[in-house]
Chains A and B, each alone.
Chain A
Amino acid sequence: MFALRRIGLRLLLGVAVLWGAATLTFVAVFIIPGDTALLILGGPDARPTQEAIAQVRADYLLDQPFIVQYFHYLGNLLQGDLGQSYRLRIPVAEAIGQQLPSTAALAGFAALLAITLTVAVALASAQRRPWIRAIVSSAEVFLASVPSFVVGFALLILFAFTWKLLPSSGTAGFPSLILPAATLALILFGPLSQVLRNELEEVLEQPFVLTARARGLSDFAVRIRHALRHAAIPTVTMSGFIVGGLLGGSVITETLFSRQGIGGLMLASVYNKDLPVILGVVLLSAAVYVVVNLLVDLLYTSIDPRVVTA
């Protein structure tokens, strides 16, 4: 009962965030100077006639006051209509829908890789000799602080150009997914592993770990069966933030590896000032953020049932 009410509240807050994102971007677009009608017709280079401009103004309600345009936009949004792309001349939802599968595959595989790597490395390196931890921790800090395209470029040089093991670009098939997903995963891995190891080291000091060891459990079993669960909550919180940001990371990765996807769509829209598509991607990203954080919230209760009563 409580859980249901909490989910309902969170969903409501999520809708408020989406509404806020739509409003903020709409207001920003409205107050920044620039002729939207001209943009729709292909920019000043297209040299549209005065009649064409007037026609577009009337069609897109650009001659109406702000409040009319805003409510018209919100009304459309409520019906799931994100508007028409200026550049592609297709509905924004369709443009996003075309690119979403390849980005989702990239982000999903990257998240899977990152989680596997984080858990494996943190489990293996927690409470080990100082020099082991120093090496692992330096690698993590390094990965967390270099821009993603540097990591991607290094992978590209090694695996695609030097050893010629994997394709350097494209969206076809699983092999072309490996390098971009590994790039994203390595970036995610840095901060996550730091948090998980710190937490694990604290947990491994706890009395119940000693009890488990006294019962004759092996070190490996203690780590997997007891410590990991207790150390998971902060890492899960953090992965919520980071996975929510994968869409931003995909812009770089997709460009570097010439992959299709939301990142490329966003970039092309920014170059061409295709505002409806920009707005659509912002809403998508906000929606992903809301959903991921809701999932994280639900995950807490399955990791630690005491969270519900708290």
Chain B
Amino acid sequence: MTAEGTIASITEAPGKSGFRAVTDAISRSRLRGIRPGVALSWAFIATLAVASLAPSLLAPGDPLEVDPTRTFIAPGAAHWFGTDESGSDVYTRIVHGAGASLVIGITATVIGLLIGIAVGLTAGLGNRLVEASIMRVLDVTLAVPELLLALVVIGIIGGGTINAILAIGAGGVAYYARIVRAQTHKVRSATYVEAARTLGFSRSKVVFRHVLPNAIKPVLILATIGIGGAIGAGASLSFLGLGTPRPRPSGVRCSRSAATSSRTHPG
């Protein structure tokens, strides 16, 4: 907060004594300057970026290194998070897996978003029959929980990284499509769209130049939040053994073997 802002908030607090108002204003401006939550988030994003672009900076070891003499070492100075059943360093694997998780999260969201926008736009601009049938199909997919939907997709097309991305993307389609459709309804009767039509622009030009850009804003915001969910879903699938297969490190994949090995090697 600027000095003017501080002064303004002092003068705006007539009920308080001068001293109280000043300390309040200072503490408020301090909080606004370095909010701990925001600072933490940025630190985390920075770490994540380094981990995905140059993982060796954070974890110089080899994530694929296997050493049967060092299996199940408890967390300590040499191995921050311990080692897993094949003697690989868990911390190194997690750092090297971060990029893969991020890629899964972002690609799955983008795929879901693109299909969702196409479907939502078709529903919002199509005739009643088209719209009604699309919306009922979306209702059906909404009735199946996302993770279950992803499992169904994998059950039909098989596992693996690419199929996992498709499966997670499929879960987001219905949400994005519904919002795009609602927005399209709002936009299509707007005066600027009418004006463009009156000016004799072709249908596709009106749709892509005027309707689409104005209809996708809320869904883009939702999609940025959705990336986190998609990373979580990717991690869940990996946890179930249906995502990235073993030799390649994938973020939290390690935790499943951790759960089993904690049972066999307690303490």
Contact = CB atoms under 8 A, between A and B. Distances in A.
Contacts of A184: none
Given A147-B236, A278-B152, A247 B145 contact: yes
A248 B152 contact: no
A296 interface: no
A270 B258 CA distance: 23
A265 to B, nearest CB: 11
Main secondary structure of the interface of B (DSSP, over half): helix
A168 interface: yes
Main secondary structure of the interface of A (DSSP, over half): helix
Contacts of A138: 37
Interface string A163-181: 0000011000000000000
B263 A282 contact: no
Contact of A255 (B136, B141, B239, B267): B239
A251 B147 contact: yes
Given A24-B137, A25-B152, A147 B235 contact: yes
Contacts of B152: 25, 28, 270, 278, 282
B139 A17 contact: yes
A75 to B, nearest CB: 20
B259 interface: yes
Contacts of A146: 232
B266 A270 contact: no
B258 A267 contact: no
Contacts of B252: 147, 149-150
A115 interface: no
Given A17-B139, A20-B137, A161 B267 contact: yes
B140 interface: yes
B256 A149 contact: yes
Contact of A20 (B140, B147, B233): B140
B145 A147 contact: no
Interface string B146-174: 11100110111110000000000000000
Contact of A244 (B137, B145, B154, B228): B145
B183 to A, nearest CB: 21
A266 B263 CA distance: 24
Interface in A125-168: 138, 145-150, 153, 156-157, 161, 168
A286 B144 contact: yes
A220 to B, nearest CB: 29
Given A24-B137, A161-B266, A256 B143 contact: no
Contacts of B154: 270
A249 B147 contact: yes
A9 interface: no
B232 A28 contact: no
B148 A149 contact: no
Most buried by B among A17, A270, A271, A273: A270
Contacts of B232: 145-147
Interface footprint category on B? 35 or more
A251 B151 contact: yes
Contact of A248 (B137, B147, B158, B258): B147
A245 B140 contact: no
Interface in A19-73: 20-21, 24-25, 28-29, 32
Contacts of B140: 17, 20-21, 24, 286
Interface residues of A, number: 46
Given A270-B155, A278-B152, A282-B152, A156 B143 contact: no
A241 B240 CA distance: 24
Interface string A194-207: 00000000000000
Nearest to A134: B37
A149 B239 contact: yes
B156 A156 contact: no
Nearest to B136: A20
B143 A290 contact: yes
A285 interface: yes
Contact of B157 (A20, A32, A249, A289): A32
Contacts of B145: 244-249, 285
Interface in B227-264: 228, 232-233, 235-236, 239-242, 252, 255-256, 258-259, 262-263
Contacts of B256: 149, 255-256
B173 to A, nearest CB: 12
B147 A252 contact: yes
A281 B141 CA distance: 14
A245 B233 CA distance: 14
A275 interface: yes
Nearest to A245: B145
A235 interface: no
A24 B141 contact: yes
Contacts of A244: 143, 145
Interface in B109-157: 136-137, 139-141, 143-148, 151-152, 154-157
A147 B156 CA distance: 24
8 contacts: A145-B232, A147-B239, A149-B256, A252-B147, A266-B148, A270-B151, A289-B143, A290-B143
